[in-house]
Amino acid sequence: MLHVAIIMDGNGRWARDRGLPRLAGHREGARAVRRVLEAAPGLGITDLTVYAFSSDNWKRPPAEVSGLMRLLRQFLDGEADRCIANGVRVSAIGRRDRLPGFALESLERAERLTRGLSRVHLRIALDYSSRDAIAAAARAGADSREGFERKLIPDVDLLIRTAGEQRLSDFLLWECAYAEFWFTERKWPDFDGGDLAAAVSDFHRRQRRFGAIPEPLAERRDIPA
């Protein structure tokens, strides 16, 4: 089982470099999500969480926000059958009360149609703030660390961010406590299954200690004498 989270950065810059409107970059970015979803099962990825729209993104120009919401609806409606055929469960994290009705309707339909599927769980972070999610979990009054974590999503194994940025930007702060980070200069619309495979391959070469001291290589039980 492998949980990969992706901050899909660079859509606007990709469009600008080509003399296109920013929304063209977001549209191409949606196609990149499809490519990654298709590659994920073969790489052992069971959970894929993508940062689609942060709570701070409401600060963007209204025309861009409106276009993003329409694109979200198109993606959810257009990919629902493909997700069902490929065993992909779709769900969302983040606030829902500020989403426009047409986008919320498409989201809830996709969740309903794919509920119970388990090959890959695609979580879409919408109107999402990790600080808000942590605060909400704290307000829920969990009486243990385990109880607190049940209010959040599972821990992330590998965090990918595209387009050269190297920060979390209020994304899965708790869940990324022991995640491995992988950064690339490649802008999200150009990202494909090969890039995902490279990130996962690099992840598997790393030694994850979680604060402990690893066994000497010769003492590892999984290596024949």
Q: Which domains does the chain have, with CATH numbers?
A: 3-219 (3.40.1180.10)
Q: How many residues does the chain have?
A: 225
Query: pLDDT above 90 covers what percent of the chain?
Result: 86
- Residue pair 13/185 in contact (Cβ under 8 Å)? The answer is no
Instruction: Clarify whether 9 is annotated catalytic.
Output: yes
**Separation between Cα atoms, residue 3 and residue 155, nearest integer Å:** 7
Write the pLDDT tens digit of every residue in 20-46.
999 999 999 999 999 999 999 999 999
- The rounded mean pLDDT for the chain is 94
- Residue pair 39/114 in contact (Cβ under 8 Å)? The answer is no
Question: Looking up tokens 């000497």, which residue turns up?
Answer: 216
Task: Indicate whether 225 pLDDT > 50.
Answer: no
- Mean pLDDT across 138-146: 84
Given strand 158-161, what is the order of strands in its sheet?
A: 88-93, 120-128, 47-54, 3-7, 158-161, 180-183
Task: Indicate whether 192 pLDDT > 60.
Answer: yes
- The torsion defined by the Cα of 78, 84, 85 and 88, in degrees rounded to 10, comes to 100
- Mean pLDDT across 137-147: 85
- Residue pair 58/98 in contact (Cβ under 8 Å)? The answer is yes
Write the pLDDT tens digit of every residue in 114-126.
999 999 999 999 9
| pLDDT tier for residue 168 given thresholds of 50, 70 and 90 | very high
- Residue pair 187/13 in contact (Cβ under 8 Å)? The answer is yes
- Mean pLDDT across 198-225: 74
Which pLDDT score is estimated for 218?
Answer: 43
DSSP secondary-structure letter at 72? H
Task: Indicate whether 211 pLDDT > 90.
Answer: no
| pLDDT tier for residue 59 given thresholds of 50, 70 and 90 | very high
* Catalytic member of 11, 47, 56, 57: 57
- Other Cβ atoms less than 10 A from the Cβ of 112: the count is 10
